[in-house]
A and B are shown apart, each in its own frame.
Chain A
Amino acid sequence: MSRRNSLRFGNSTKEPKWPLFLLLALVVLTFAAPPIFGHSSSSFTIYNALQNTSCLGLVALGLGLTMIVGEFDLSVAGTYALGGMVAVKAGAGSPFIGILAGVAVCVVFGLIQGVIIAKLGVNSMAVTLGGSLVALGIAGTIGDNKSQSYDNYDVGIFLNQQIGTFFSVRILIGVAAFVAVFLLMTLTNLGRAMRATGGGRRASRTAGVRVDAIVIMSFGASAGFAGLGGVLQAYGTSTATSNPGLFPLIFAVTACLLGGIGLAGGRGGAVGIACGALSLALLSEFFSTVAAPQYVTGLVTGLLLILVTAAASPLVLRKWNESRARKAMQEASMPQTSSDKQSISIGE
């Protein structure tokens, strides 16, 4: 694909701005609202949110990459568990070997799923549902069906050590991953190729995008980032759990949808995912600051996920595009025919 590409899929080559505003709103909420309930937030709240985002945010980053190319990796909660468990088991001697093993196993796992999805054209949700069970099965088998502690506590202390007011090594690793993806997607053709793949596969292939390679790579990256998140979680808390439940997946999907990555594919980027993940982490910090019961977080998370999924649904997108098209027509104040209207709504 050339730099000056005539193939444009909607106006989707840029990241939307609103996730940034959402994040800003959440920061304000986190500091302005707790005093009303007789609590207060501090810089530690931000640090906590970042600590959580460093693990679950990486899961969101991985899932988001598959969503941009128009697929969906349901297995991220599985690879999250797998990465952590492999790292704890393989890293008994050296944490570096643990990290390497945890991430490598997950990348290979993701690549296999990617090959099945890209080469056979199988629905990615169905494949990764099976993949999720396989990953959890392997994690549970090597973890003896229970949580495994990591005895090298120094690693956890090192990872969680506060650097400045807001950072720790763990957070910086997470930030580095996001920055790397951002740079790769903006400085190279990769981001464009990924969004093109998600926007229209056949057209992209015709335009010379190596669609299969892009899809396979995004699943490898997805599992790798989810695995890295699991490794950081396991080392940071000195424990790997063999079954984390659906929460990492729920967090990741919600973060991606809040971050402007549609389910249809072709939109979004690392900045949006980071904003979505941070917003969600701040929201959960807000609830713990005001000492809300555990189920409140569950209520809000579940409701939020349903709402953002409905907001990203084909019907709502179509209505939104139609209303935008109508507005544009009114501004141009040109007589419109129904066929014009149709051609615009098809381009979503």
Chain B
Amino acid sequence: MSTSLSTKSMVNLQSASTAKKITVLVTVIFIALLLFGTLTTDGFYSTENFKAIINSAALVGVIAVGMTYIVISGNLFSLSVGTTAAVSAMTFLWALRFGMIAAIVITVAFGAVVIGLQGLLVGSTGANPIIVTIGAGALLEAMATWISGGVSVYPPADGPSYAFLYNPLFGVPFPVYVFIVVVIIGELVIKRSKFGRGIYLMGESPRAGRTAGLPTIALTTGAFVTAGICTAIAGILLGAFNQSGTLTSTGTLTVDSISAVLVGGTAVVGGRGSVTRTAVGAILVAAIGDMLLLRGYSPPIQLLALGIIVTVVVVLSYLNSGKGSRS
């Protein structure tokens, strides 16, 4: 929740320090609320429950790592990741007939192409990323219904076993290991590679990036392709866990992954943030959901809580960036 403290708005020190104070205050209130909530929830502090939290954080977290690339690149969010994850799950289970390796490769390629194409459109024309991804989500859903005939996809009876994808390994569910690996690779690529540094620069100021000769189209497409790969990986885990693929399995994946990025403190305006922050954000979002569930609140209350958190974080993110003061 602590939004990046390195304020770059030296223009107005007064408001920058006020923004910092507000951020600290809100963070403290948030942590206090979370501690109070979890301490008074029966069964929250148990090994079993922590396992449940980390398991649900894993799936959302893998998608959120990809979403982080899009947010840092300055292209807001993708609203098609939930649908893409569900269709990836269907693709994976269908492709299992060609063997495990082939199924994974096909699914990852599918995710990379589907979301990458949206990035290419956004990067080359400057079209609004949110609307493009809403349209793409609707299109993908319709195509998946058309091709699948509107029924669930089941893995082939004589296909390879994929039980290892959801069974625990040394007592920890397999998706958690995938999550950790994706976070490490995601962080290394965005912090250490030329591609990653380009994404930060472009997100900081698209105009300056273009002037400096950054390949903005390639970088935007690359950020979306990364999101596509992560979403497809989550889709594989989702399909293996459900043992069937349907469009209704999207649930709140899109919203949860966006919340994870924002709660982690990656700036909604782009240019600042990190994959590690997102990992923390994913665990926090999962913990909040888990706490509300244990306390017997219905899904809409969880949606409401996420909505309030997202709004507050977005506002703080703007106050700290100095981009908000529009005159």
Residues on A lying within 8 angstroms of B by beta carbon are: 72, 74, 116, 120-123, 125-127, 129-141, 143-145, 201-202, 205, 242, 246, 249-250, 253, 263, 293-299, 301-306, 309-310, 312-316
When chains A and B are docked, how far (Å) is the Cα of A296 from the Cα of B150? 12
Q: Is the CB of A122 within 8 A of B318?
A: yes
- Do most interface residues of chain A lie in helix, strand or loop, or is the interface mixed? helix
CB distance from A337 to the nearest CB of B (A): 23
Which single residue of chain B is at the shortest CB-CB distance from A122?
A: B318
Q: How distant is the Cα of A125 from the Cα of B92 in the complex, in angstroms?
A: 33
Q: Which residue of A lies closest to B327 (CB)?
A: A202
A250 and B131 CA atoms in complex are apart in Å by: 8
From A130, A139, A297, give the contact of B310 (CB < 8 A): A130
Instruction: Contact check, B307 vs A141: say whether CB atoms are below 8 A apart.
Output: no
Let me know if A136 and B300 touch, CB within 8 A: yes
A133-B303, A294-B145 in contact; A246/B138 too (CB < 8 A)?
yes
* Cβ contact within 8 Å between A139 and B300: yes
8 Å CB contact of A309 from B135, B308, B310, B323 = B135
The 7 closest A-B pairs by CB, nearest first: A140-B300, A137-B304, A302-B139, A298-B142, A133-B307, A130-B311, A305-B135
Q: How far is the CB of A82 from chain B (nearest CB, A)?
A: 11
Task: Enumerate chain B residues within 8 angstroms of A310, measured Cβ to Cβ.
Answer: 121, 125, 127, 132
Q: How far is the CA of A132 from the CA of B136 in the complex (A)?
A: 20
B176 at the interface (CB under 8 A from A): no
Q: Say whether, besides A136-B300, A242-B300, A122 and B127 are in contact (CB < 8 Å).
A: no
5 more contacts with CB within 8 A, not counting A134-B308, A302-B136, are A123-B314, A129-B77, A133-B304, A134-B304, A305-B131
With a CB–CB cut-off of 8 A, which chain A residues contact B302? 137
Q: List 11 A-B contacts (CB under 8 A).
A: A123-B269, A129-B314, A137-B303, A138-B304, A145-B299, A298-B138, A301-B135, A305-B131, A306-B136, A312-B127, A314-B125
Count B interface residues, CB 8 Å: 53
Nearest-Cβ distance from residue A334 to partner chain B, whole angstroms: 31
In the assembled complex, which residues on chain B have CB atoms less than 8 Å from the CB atom of A141? 298, 300-301, 304
Is B106 close to A, CB under 8 A? no
Contact of B269 with A298 in the complex, beta carbons under 8 Å: no
Q: Is B298 a contact of A299 with CB atoms below 8 Å?
A: no
Please determine whether A314 and B318 come into contact, CB atoms closer than 8 angstroms: no
Most buried by A among B135, B315, B326: B135
Which residues does chain A contribute within 8 Å of B126, judged by CB atoms?
Answer: 313-315
CB proximity of B53 to chain A, nearest CB, Å: 21
B132 lies within 8 A of A306 (CB): yes
Interchain nearest-CB distance for B81 vs A (Å):
13
Asked if B184 is at the interface of the complex by the 8 Å CB criterion, the answer is no
Decide: A126 and B125 in contact? CB cutoff 8 A. Answer: no
Min CB distance A227 to B, Å, is 17
**Closest approach, in angstroms, between the C-beta of B249 and any C-beta of chain A?**
15
- Measured CA separation A138–B139 after assembly (Å): 29
Say which residue of A120, A140, A202 sits within 8 Å of B298 (CB atoms).
A140
* Inter-subunit contact B298/A145 (CB<8 Å): yes
Does the CB pair A121–B135 fall under 8 Å? Answer: no
**Distance of A202 from chain B, by nearest CB (Å):** 6
Contact A253 B134 (CB under 8 A): yes
Contacts of A131 on B, CB cut-off 8 Å? 307, 311
* B325 to A, closest residue via Cβ: A121
Q: Answer yes or no: B137 CB below 8 A from chain A CBs.
A: yes
Q: In whole Å, how far is B248's beta carbon from the nearest beta carbon of chain A?
A: 11
Nearest neighbor of B308 in chain A, beta-carbon distance? A134
Which residues 100-132 of B sit at the A interface, judged by CB distance below 8 A?
Answer: 121, 124-128, 130-132
Cβ of B307 and Cβ of A134 under 8 Å apart?
yes
**B204 within 8 A of partner (CB):** no
Q: Which residues of B contact A242 (CB under 8 A)?
A: 300
A250 lies within 8 A of B307 (CB)? no
Q: Are A126 and B138 in contact (CB under 8 A)?
A: no
The reply to whether B142 and A302 contact each other, CB–CB distance below 8 Å, is yes
Q: Knowing A123-B76, A139-B300, A294-B145, say if A313 contacts B127 (CB, 8 Å).
A: yes
B296 smallest CB distance to A (angstroms): 13
Task: Choose one: A125, A140, A202, A304; the contact of B299 (CB below 8 Å).
Answer: A140
**Is B282 on the interface with A (CB-CB < 8 A)?**
no
Query: What is the chain B residue whose CB lies nearest that of A301?
Result: B138
Within 8 A of A (CB), among B247-301: 255, 258, 268-269, 298-301
Closest chain-A Cβ to B200's Cβ sits at a distance in Å of 19
Contact B142 A295 (CB under 8 A): yes
CA distance A144 to B298 in the complex (A): 8
Query: Across the interface, which residues of B come within 8 angstroms of A296, CB to CB?
Result: 142
Q: How far is the CB of B205 from chain A (nearest CB, A)?
A: 15
Which residue of B is nearest A119, CB measured?
Answer: B324
Inter-chain CA distance A294–B146, complex, in Å, is 9
Partner of B132 from A134, A250, A309 at Cβ < 8 Å: A309
- Cα A306 to Cα B143 in complex, Å, equals 15
**Which B residue sits closest to A254, measured CB to CB?**
B135
Given A299-B143, A299-B146, A309-B132, residue A127 in contact with residue B127 (CB < 8 A): no
Residues of A within 8 A of B308 (CB): 130, 134
Residues of A within 8 A of B269 (CB): 123
**Which chain B residues border A145 with CB–CB below 8 Å?**
298-300
Give the most central of B121, B125, B323: most A CB within 10 Å.
B125
| B319 at interface, CB cutoff 8 A | yes
Q: Chain B nearest CB: distance from A288 CB in Å?
A: 15
The answer to whether A295 touches B145 (Cβ under 8 A) is yes
- Which of B142, B314, B319 is within 8 Å of A127, CB to CB? B314
Whether A126 and B304, one on each chain, are in contact in the complex, defined by CB atoms closer than 8 angstroms, is no
Question: What CA separation (Å) do A205 and B255 show in the bound complex?
Answer: 36
Complexed CA–CA distance, A130 and B310 (Å): 5
- Within the complex, the shortest CB–CB distance from A86 to chain B, in Å, comes to 14
Of the candidates B132, B269, B304, B323, the one having the most CB atoms from chain A within 10 angstroms of its own CB is B304
Query: Given the interface contacts A133-B304, A133-B307, A313-B128, does A299 sit within 8 Å of B139 by beta carbon?
Result: yes
Q: Is B305 an interface position by the 8 A CB rule? A: yes
